[in-house]
Amino acid sequence: MLINGPNLNLIGNRDPSIYGKKTLIDIENACIKRANSLNYDIECVQSNHEGQLIDWIHTTKHAGIVINAGAYTHTSIAIPDALVSVELPVVEVHLSNIHNRESFRHISYISKISIGMICGFGAIGYELAIEALIHYIDNLHK
Ligand code: DQA
């Protein structure tokens, strides 16, 4: 499952010098293609509301989660708590390199519970995150 958090519905228009010119629909379509080419189904969701993100995490039927929690990355304890509670593998993704931006973006509470993070590569980072998660899931029991 691909989960996007607050303000990511605006990418394409929002600070294109930081977040790029691709829209969320462009990114989701690329992720669907990439996942399908690796024989996985993927569901893509986005919300600006923390509780909605948590409800989706609780009810997902998918084998793993790729998440860009937007600014909640740096503030939310409830989202990583939800991710831990469903015991699914999690890969974190960010369009920008959160480590070379303002210091308040350097902390990610999601990183404390994720397998790994891809950040700074723009839209392609989502496809890389999907591929990394699928590789992880496919090799879990080997
Ligand atoms: C972001 C980075 C966050 O700091 C920011 O609040 C976002 C987007 C990224 O993808 O680079 O909304 O998660």
Asked whether 96 lines ligand 1 (CB < 6 A), one says yes
Reported as a single tens digit per residue, the pLDDT across 3-18 is 999 999 999 998 999 9
Reported as a single tens digit per residue, the pLDDT across 109-138 is 999 999 999 999 999 999 999 999 999 999
Which atom of ligand 1 has the smallest separation from the CA of 8?
A: 12
Instruction: Look over the chain and give the mean of its residue pLDDT values, rounded to a whole number.
Output: 97
Residue 37 has a CB neighbour count (10 Å cut-off) of 11
The answer as to whether 104 is a domain residue is yes
Q: Domain with 100 in it: what CATH number?
A: 3.40.50.9100
The answer as to whether 11 is a domain residue is yes
Domain that holds residue 22: 2-136
Pinpoint the alpha helices (H) of the chain: 16-19, 24-37, 50-59, 78-85, 124-138
The answer as to whether 142 is a domain residue is no
The answer as to whether 141 is a domain residue is no
pLDDT at 79 exceeding the cut of 90: yes
The answer as to whether 38 is a domain residue is yes
The answer as to whether 40 is a domain residue is yes
Give the chain's domain count. Answer: 1
Half-sphere exposure of residue 12: CA atoms within 13 angstroms, side-chain side: 9
